[in-house]
Amino acid sequence: MITQTCALNDIIVLDLTDEKGVYTGKLLADMGATVIRIEPISGNKTRSIGPFYMDQISQESSLYDWYNNTSKKSITLDISTDRGMEILKDLCLKADIILESFDDDYLRDCGLTYEYIVEKNSKLIWTAITGFGRTGPYANYKTSDLVALSLGGPVASCGYDHLPGSPPICPDGWAGYYTGSHYAAISTLVALIYRDMTNKGQFIDVSIHEAISSSTEAALPMFFYQNNVPLRQTGRHHSIIPTPPAIYKCIDGGMIHVFGTPPQDLNRWGKLLEWIQETGEGSELLQPKYEEMVTKRNRDSGLMFTLFTHIGRLINSLDSEYVFNRAQSIGLPWGLVRAPEENVLDDHFWERGFFVNIEHESLDKSLFYPGAPYVFQKTPWRIRNSSPYLGQDNNEVYKEMLNLTNMDIELLKEKKII
């Protein structure tokens, strides 16, 4: 029975987020929650973000929108009108979670406050996802993925030490907004667990700036403990002291990222040395001082650079797939530097069922999607439907949740409220 195989089968979510939080609702929807996007009549602006299906720009063909809205429903509602706001309030009485990412005062100005909600539906969890949080001097500052990743710390750690004077680099791919959405999902689910026990809802103020600031590994500790700020380095960890390059080109043009090297035990160290020596080089690595890199965790810069010079030459002379598989076979956690689409060619992910085939009824065909970030034994992740057309679920949602009649719905459409 389907109802027992969804972790969030019992949960109704109203999703009013834009690109800052749109992924949060996908995380809940793909785990079984009924997530209803509430869009302005002109459509959520996520619908205008490219790339587009067959490069045909339209509200219904944004691949960004498709990816981030799987398993959701869509209704239209103009919440800036009095009647529209009334309807939103009625929906809030029937919902478990509301997700929104409006600027600070927008919903209040439209007439919806958490105080009102607590009185009418004290079980509701309201998650607000904003650039900087709802309080503080930056509360009304405007964010963007580029600005969020710059202020939050990642950008300062990414760039090129081999190109002096070059700017720091912001990684592509909406990583800032995704990190905000990860914390929004965690916070919302934590509030849900609390509600399971107490029947009480919650208002949650998620700051994307803080979410990103919490995701910069040792950068903060380096400052807290040693007053140090690490320098960015090409394709590898930021560091106080320069470290050897970590990414090496192979003979076929592929690249290998070397990490976890030297390994932590003599067994793997021996296998790495054997491999290097197959090229007829690297006899100097047999000196005891190199072994101390393993046994005493000695990270002397000179020794590291010499070791990596040998590793680099080894990799330069070989085919990338071979290097990847051989390194892994001797326990070295090296990886290929792949473009996203190159994982489609790796059988491993198909064997795990990572790529899933999703039907697009309107196109009369099914398309492959990237799939589950986690494999659950009893409540599997599942895309239940492709992202909804603008307002496609108006009839169903307004009838089932609010008992509106066909005539009510027609009237609302005429008045441009839905």
Partner 1 sequence: MIFNHNDIGEPLPLSGIRVVDLTWIVAGPQTTRIFADLGAEVIKVEYKESPDYIRGAPPFAENIPGENRSGFFNNLNRNKKSLTLNVMHPDGMDVLKNLISVSDVLIENFSSKVLDRWGLNYEEQKKIKPDIIYLSLSGFGHSGSKQDYTTWGPTAQALSGLTYMSGSPDEFPAGWGYSFLDHTAGYYGAIALLLALHHRNNTGEGQSIDISQVETGMVLTGTYLLDYFVNGRKYRRPGNPPGNRARFDIVAPHNIYRCLGEDKWIAIVVSNNEEWGKFCISLERLDLLNNDLFTTNELRITNQDLLDKEISKSLIDRNSLELMHMLQKEGISAGIVQNAKDRVTDDPQLKSREYFQTIEHPEIGTYEFDGFPAKFSDIGYRMERSSPILGQDSKYVISDLLGYPKKDIDLMESEEVF
Query: For residues 369-408, which are near partner 1 according to CB under 8 A?
Result: 369-379
Q: To the nearest whole angstrom, how small is the minimum distance from the Cβ of residue 344 to partner 1?
A: 7
Q: To the nearest whole angstrom, how small is the minimum distance from the Cβ of residue 400 to partner 1?
A: 22
Q: To the nearest whole angstrom, how small is the minimum distance from the Cβ of residue 42 to partner 1?
A: 16
Where helices occur in 74-171 by DSSP H, the ranges are 82-94, 106-110, 114-120, 145-152
Distance from C-alpha of 69 to C-alpha of 385, rounded to nearest angstrom:
9
Q: Distances from the Cα of 371 to the Cαs of 11, 356, 377, 388, in angstroms?
A: 22, 6, 15, 18
Task: Write the interaction track for partner 1 spanning residues 28-47; mark x where CB under 8 A is met and - where it is not.
Answer: ---x----------------
| Piece in contact with partner 1 (CB under 8 A), picked from 73-81, 129-137, 301-309, 392-400 | 129-137
Q: To the nearest whole angstrom, how small is the minimum distance from the Cβ of residue 156 to partner 1?
A: 4
Site for partner 1 in 234-263 (CB under 8 A): 234-238, 246-247, 255, 257, 259-260
- DSSP state letters, 51-90: -BGGG--STT-BHHHHHHTTT-EEEE--TTSHHHHHHHHH
Q: At what angle do helices 394-402 and 406-414 cross, to 10 degrees?
A: 120
- Tell me the three state secondary structure of residue 246: coil
Site for partner 1 in 5-24 (CB under 8 A): 7-8, 10
Residue from 83, 94, 114, 399 touching partner 1 (CB under 8 A): that is 114
Give the interface size with partner 1 as a residue count (CB under 8 A).
150
Work out whether 119 is an interface residue with partner 1 (CB under 8 A): no
Q: To the nearest whole angstrom, how small is the minimum distance from the Cβ of residue 99 to partner 1?
A: 13
Residue from 42, 105, 113, 223 touching partner 1 (CB under 8 A): that is 223
Site for partner 1 in 189-208 (CB under 8 A): 189-194, 196-198, 200, 202-207
Site for partner 1 in 169-188 (CB under 8 A): 169-175, 178-179, 182-187
| Piece in contact with partner 1 (CB under 8 A), picked from 314-322, 350-358, 389-397, 407-415 | 350-358
Q: To the nearest whole angstrom, how small is the minimum distance from the Cβ of residue 286 to partner 1?
A: 25
Distance from C-alpha of 258 to C-alpha of 245, rounded to nearest angstrom:
9
Q: To the nearest whole angstrom, how small is the minimum distance from the Cβ of residue 409 to partner 1?
A: 33
| Piece in contact with partner 1 (CB under 8 A), picked from 89-97, 221-229, 285-293, 405-413 | 221-229
Distance from C-alpha of 356 to C-alpha of 258, rounded to nearest angstrom:
31
Identify the CA nearest to 91 among candidates 40, 35, 24, 41. Answer: 35
Contacts for 181 with CB less than 8 Å, ≥ 6 apart: 20, 21, 22, 23, 24, 27, 129
Where helices occur in 101-143 by DSSP H, the ranges are 106-110, 114-120
Residue from 41, 90, 141, 393 touching partner 1 (CB under 8 A): that is 141
Cβ closest to partner 1, residue 119 vs residue 172: 172
Distance from C-alpha of 191 to C-alpha of 290, rounded to nearest angstrom:
52
Which residue in this structure is represented by tokens 């439907």? 385
Q: To the nearest whole angstrom, how small is the minimum distance from the Cβ of residue 14 to partner 1?
A: 18
For residues 328 and 334, the answer to whether their CB atoms sit within 8 Å is yes
Residue from 20, 72, 209, 310 touching partner 1 (CB under 8 A): that is 209
- Tell me the three state secondary structure of residue 414: helix
Cβ closest to partner 1, residue 54 vs residue 407: 54
* Six token digits for residue 337: 């530097």
Residue from 21, 43, 84, 152 touching partner 1 (CB under 8 A): that is 152
